[in-house]
Copies of this chain bind each other. A is one copy, B any other.
Amino acid sequence: MADRLYLYDTTLRDGQQTQGVQFSTAEKLEIARMLDELGVDYIEGGWPGANPTDSEFFTDTPKTRATMTAFGMTKRAGRSAENDDVLAAVMNAGTPAVCLVGKTHVFHVTEALGISLDENLANIRDSLAHVAASREALFDAEHFFDGWKADRDYALSCLRAAYEAGARWIVLCDTNGGTLPGEVGQIVAEVIAAGIPGDHLGIHTHDDTGNAVACSLAAIDAGARQVQGTLNGLGERCGNASLTSLIPTLKLKEPYASRFETQISDAALQRLILMSHRLDEILNRVPLRAAPYVGASAFAHKAGLHASAILKNPATYEHIEPALVGNARVIPMSNQAGQSNLRARLADAGLSVEPGDPALGRILDLVKQREDEGFAFDGAQASFDLLARRELGLLPRFFDVDRYRVTVERRLNAKGQRISVSEAVVVVHLGDQRVLSVSESLDAEGGDRGPVNALWRALAKDLGPYQHAIDDMQLVDFRVRITQGGTDAATRVTIDSADGKGRIWSTVGVSANIVDASFDALIDAITWKLIRDGVTPA
């Protein structure tokens, strides 16, 4: 019989403490819907009254299957729980659950709060009893692990005060993120031995030593049954435990998969990667290639020995089947690769080539030649696909570029302000038609988005019969590197594009001219999208 394990998401509260992150209310609502679709048990929506965004979020709290939870702190000393206005604002949000943070570390009670140890215990007891009278009550035991190491009796008495006052969950927080997994496991076991049942204990960790996920697992191993974290590991300083890493481990890997039951469905797990990307998109962040499970490189097999074994049997170098988390295997091409890598890579792109086909040798030679010129295909799969297709005679001719011209200008306007603007003209042949497009780089606010943006707009403006296929396409990242191409320095531009189906693909262009290199990468990006969407040349 599997134990029930509860997932508590705090992306909207602790995740909001990430440096540089500032959610709008609309974004918080979208993330809440996403978390509910994922299937977490609790969504911590924020701190009503602490800032305008959180207050607005709770004025029209979204209806969720997950238990919506408002965050706040235990009442201040010198007033009753009923008369604490900060606590009242939290209660007034009307959520089915309320989580209150309180001190459990003697140093913090005396140093940060400046009250007596008994007063702090009374604050915890009274506040949690007040919440528990009408809601599901949770107690976030701040600095618990440090507090336990400093004075375990006092730390434990704080937990007991909350538990006896009716808190459903006592959440052990490693607020400063400095506790290591071994200690976390040991202390959780000791707390359970001291009488707080494991199925009333939660764990809340931070990644300051790179161990947030492991600390969470150690607490679960020791008996805790609620785990807190955030999508993509957002959070104060180095972030919270990443639910994006924890959820697949708990669902797919032993001993957790057999031992525990969660509300996360297999189908939701397969959409985890989309949710991870969507959050990055909301925050305008570049998805981390090396992220466990959901990263673009998580199942990329670059070493030649690995790739050839993968061809025989993927289990040789993969700890899980990538599709279980919605991800895909990648066999990058590079000058370290051989023919078996190449065949595997081609098979991934839907191109079946027999061993010994002379095209394989030609493609490898071409890859090597291009890499000598400054290309790097292992970070630009889509451009590699196109190169191989061309060599295999499988690249349709969608359109030809006749010419382009880009102008970048900076001057002072009539008011003496410095302004800049870029303009691009692109001339394309679509079958018999010659199409001339012009575009500026100005965004809705009149800001100049630069020459590559202008080129992209001009290209995307009128691609006639192909227009429908690229309408949902956007540029999400742009990387530039000076490389040694032959005897001269060359500029390598890599562009990441995304579409409405959640696909992200990378293309590369190389030239001494950065605009020219960008243009080639853009053309590849569009061509790859047309092929992947099954578009046939007009």
Question: Which residues of A line the B interface, CB within 8 A?
Answer: 17-20, 22, 24, 50-52, 73, 107-108, 111-112, 175-178, 180-182, 207-211, 213-215, 217-218, 221, 233, 236-239, 242, 245-246, 248-249, 253, 284-286, 288-293, 295-306, 309, 312-313, 315-320, 330, 332, 334-336, 371, 376, 378-379, 401-412, 420, 422, 441, 443, 447-453, 477-482, 484, 487-489, 491, 511-516, 519
Known: A108-B316, A176-B319, A489-B284. Is A405-B403 also a contact (CB below 8 A)? no
A–B Cβ pairs within 8 angstroms, 23 of them? A17-B303, A18-B290, A20-B378, A73-B305, A107-B316, A111-B312, A111-B313, A112-B312, A178-B320, A181-B218, A208-B293, A208-B298, A210-B242, A210-B245, A236-B300, A236-B306, A237-B298, A285-B484, A402-B411, A403-B409, A403-B410, A406-B407, A450-B516
Contact check, A249 vs B451: say whether CB atoms are below 8 A apart.
Answer: no
A197 to chain B, nearest CB (A): 22
If A211-B217, A448-B511 are given as contacts, then 8 extra A-B residue pairs at C-beta distance below 8 Å, sorted by A number, are: A176-B317, A208-B292, A237-B300, A238-B295, A284-B488, A401-B410, A408-B516, A449-B513
A188 to chain B, nearest CB (A): 13
A149 to chain B, nearest CB (A): 10
Assembled-state Cα–Cα distance A320/B411 (Å): 49
Contact check, A513 vs B237: say whether CB atoms are below 8 A apart.
Answer: no
Instruction: Give the contacting residue for A302; candidates B175, B236, B291; CB below 8 A.
Output: B236
Most chain B CB within a 10 A radius of its CB, from A210, A214, A246? A210
A513 to chain B, nearest CB (A): 4
A312 to chain B, nearest CB (A): 6
Copies in the complex: 2
Give A452's nearest chain B residue, CB to CB.
B514
Most chain B CB within a 10 A radius of its CB, from A107, A320, A332, A516? A516
Assembled-state Cα–Cα distance A175/B316 (Å): 10
A184 to chain B, nearest CB (A): 10
Known: A217-B182, A451-B513. Is A405-B402 also a contact (CB below 8 A)? no
Known: A319-B208, A450-B511, A488-B447. Is A290-B238 also a contact (CB below 8 A)? yes
Most chain B CB within a 10 A radius of its CB, from A24, A480, A487? A480
Q: List the B side residues contacting A217 at CB < 8 Å.
A: 180-182, 211
Contact check, B513 vs A420: say whether CB atoms are below 8 A apart.
Answer: yes
Known: A309-B112, A449-B512. Is A412-B408 also a contact (CB below 8 A)? no
Contact check, B376 vs A22: say whether CB atoms are below 8 A apart.
Answer: yes
Assembled-state Cα–Cα distance A207/B211 (Å): 11
